[in-house]
Amino acid sequence: MNSKSYLGFDFSTQQVKALAIDENFQIIHEVSVQFDTDLPEFKTEGGVHVHEDKLTVTAPTLMWVKALDMVLENMKKENFDFKSVVAISGAGQQHGSVYWKKGSRSSLQNLSSEKSLSDQLCDSFSIHDSPIWMDSSTTDICREMESVVGGPAAMASLTGSRAYERFTGSQIAKIYRNNADAYSNTERISLVSSFAASLLLGDYAAIDNSDGSGMNLLDIRKKDWDDKCLEFVAPGLRGKLGCPVPSATVLGSVSSYFSERYNFNPKCKVVAFTGDNPASLAGFRLRHGDVIVSLGTSDTFMMWLDNPTPKTEGHVFVNPVDNDAYMAMLCYKNGSLTRERIRDSSANGSWEEFSSALKSTKPKNCGNLGIYYDVQEITPNAVGTFRFDENNQQVPEFRAEIEVRAVIEGQFLAKRCHAERLGYSLKPGSRVLATGGASNNEDILQVLSDVLSAPVYVLDTSNSACLGCACRAKHGVIGGTFDEVTRSITACRLAATPNNCTYDVDRYGTLEKVVTGCSQD
Ligand code: XUL
């Protein structure tokens, strides 16, 4: 009963989850609430509402509040020892925003432990439907916003990313333009992460630098809002955003609402919440020189950077576990569905045959190189299938086993090429941490290891964001480096070591430029 624990939350797109670890990082409790099934009154699909224009995507803000009520009530029913919690942190889906109505700070500060949070905060939002990361309705605003700071490259260099529709800056601008009254009736704008932290803190929680980097508003080097961006978006925005803080900041203690209603220790600390991707980076305990490759429906590539060179492709965020470092993230739409298409067309729909093809062909594929964008790719913006022979001549097709190797090598070369453009370079001891469906296939992992020239480890990711936040909570109260604090966590499994084959990454980059120039609509 006297043992210490740390609590991590994850307010993701489809659910809210909480996970507690003990001093030895063992998971001692896990609870989740699914929006669609546990809160059917909000009528979400996959946790969201896609509007008629198909571009606008929102989630009911109050649903998130209710989900927190439910998570905590469930933990109480399961006799979770709230008193043991030393510190809490959490993650939120990135980019989503919450609009607190004037007067809500006082509601947060004066919550009665007799009632649920949702009963008391149901009238606290000036916008009831929070724009979320799946929204793509602000293209025009993004282009205007970029031109105000000198173009997409200048925007990327300043804020870590060119202007993206899902990033919060353009979403706030849309709200101001379409609903100026609601905007002026807004006292505070939170990200999903800082909104969730605010509930626990009983006061407005600061936005952390890492999640703040997903807004196109933060100067990622100065770690302060950029006035030009703020002025473009809406008047009086600086005051509504509050000051951003390092992600390991202890914001204060839990509000008395939680100590009275759930028996939390009144001294339990709330450490700044962050975005789900930065939180996963913490959960994977990514170190200098490491990369994470998540091979799922869409592929994601994350890396630790010391000296980033943000480009118009990919995103650079302030690092969530070291405020002086950075992380970068590259997202690819053509992931497992493209691999499966080639498996079906060139390996009789069988992963075994796919693996045999990889084994029967040599690294670098005798100079054959393929680029496969079945759907409009975002990194880079292109679509189509492109095959090049060893003389860089485009060819209409490859033999089946060449095609299999080409899709895997092409996807991994792309990631290495884009990572290097963002300032990534392999260091002695660099590790590739692989996750997602395709990380079960050792032959695919061997290609990954060869292309990236580093050993590949496989990670269990089921809880990465939540676990990362429980660890961040501990780091926040203990201090020192995150690596020191989390060093005793059991290591991941080594799955592949690189053969000595030097891939020509520049050649890939050149061919990708050819492809982008002639991308088919
Ligand atoms: C990242 C992004 C998503 C969200 C939801 O830029 O848009 O990964 O964080 O998980």
Residue-wise pLDDT for 308-325, tens only, equals 999 999 999 999 999 999
* Residues 260 and 213 both lie in one domain: yes
Q: Examine residue 411 and state whether it is found in any structural domain, yes or no.
A: yes
* Residues 344 and 404 both lie in one domain: yes
Instruction: Reduce the secondary structure of 384-407 to three states and give it as a string.
Output: EEEEECCCCCECCCCCHHHHHHHH
* Residues 264 and 307 both lie in one domain: no
Q: Examine residue 478 and state whether it is found in any structural domain, yes or no.
A: no
* Residues 326 and 270 both lie in one domain: no
pLDDT for 462 beyond 50: yes
How many domains does the chain fold into?
2
User: pLDDT tens across 122-163, in order?
Assistant: 999 999 999 999 999 999 999 999 999 999 999 999 999 999
pLDDT for 187 beyond 80: yes
d(CA 36, CA 378): 29
User: Residue 160 is part of a domain; what is its CATH number?
Assistant: 3.30.420.40
35 lines ligand 1 (CB under 6 A): no
Q: Give the residue, out of 161, 166, 332, 469, with the most ligand 1 atoms within 8 A of its beta carbon, to mutate for a pocket test.
A: 166
Q: Which residues contact 66 (CB under 8 A, 6 or more apart)?
A: 39, 42, 116, 117, 118
* Residues 236 and 330 both lie in one domain: no
Query: For ligand 1, atom 5, which residue shows the shortest CA distance?
Result: 93
95 lines ligand 1 (CB under 6 A): yes
d(CA 135, CA 248): 29
What is the Å distance from ligand 1's center to 168 Cα?
Answer: 12
Q: Examine residue 470 and state whether it is found in any structural domain, yes or no.
A: no
- The pLDDT value given to residue 520: 46
* DSSP symbol at 205: P
- The pLDDT value given to residue 14: 95
User: pLDDT tens across 53-112, in order?
Assistant: 999 999 999 999 999 999 999 999 999 999 999 999 999 999 999 999 999 999 999 999
Confidence of residue 166 (pLDDT cuts 50, 70, 90): very high
pLDDT for 406 beyond 90: yes
pLDDT for 491 beyond 70: no
- Model-wide pTM > 0.85: yes
Q: Show the domain range for 437.
A: 285-460+490-521
* Residues 374 and 495 both lie in one domain: yes
* Residues 241 and 342 both lie in one domain: no
405 lines ligand 1 (CB under 6 A): no
- The pLDDT value given to residue 460: 74
Confidence of residue 521 (pLDDT cuts 50, 70, 90): very low
Q: Give the residue, out of 281, 331, 461, with the most ligand 1 atoms within 8 A of its beta carbon, to mutate for a pocket test.
A: 331
Q: Examine residue 20 and state whether it is found in any structural domain, yes or no.
A: yes
166 lines ligand 1 (CB under 6 A): yes
- The pLDDT value given to residue 518: 54
Q: Examine residue 350 and state whether it is found in any structural domain, yes or no.
A: yes
What is the Å distance from ligand 1's center to 128 Cα?
Answer: 21
* Residues 418 and 389 both lie in one domain: yes
Query: For ligand 1, atom 1, which residue shows the shortest CA distance?
Result: 94
d(CA 387, CA 374): 13
Residue 307, CA distances (Å) to 282, 314, 358 in order: 19, 15, 36
What is the Å distance from ligand 1's center to 254 Cα?
Answer: 27
* Residues 384 and 502 both lie in one domain: yes
Confidence of residue 296 (pLDDT cuts 50, 70, 90): confident
Confidence of residue 23 (pLDDT cuts 50, 70, 90): very high
93 lines ligand 1 (CB under 6 A): yes
User: pLDDT tens across 430-452, in order?
Assistant: 999 998 888 889 999 999 999 99
* Residues 258 and 320 both lie in one domain: no
* Residues 268 and 300 both lie in one domain: no
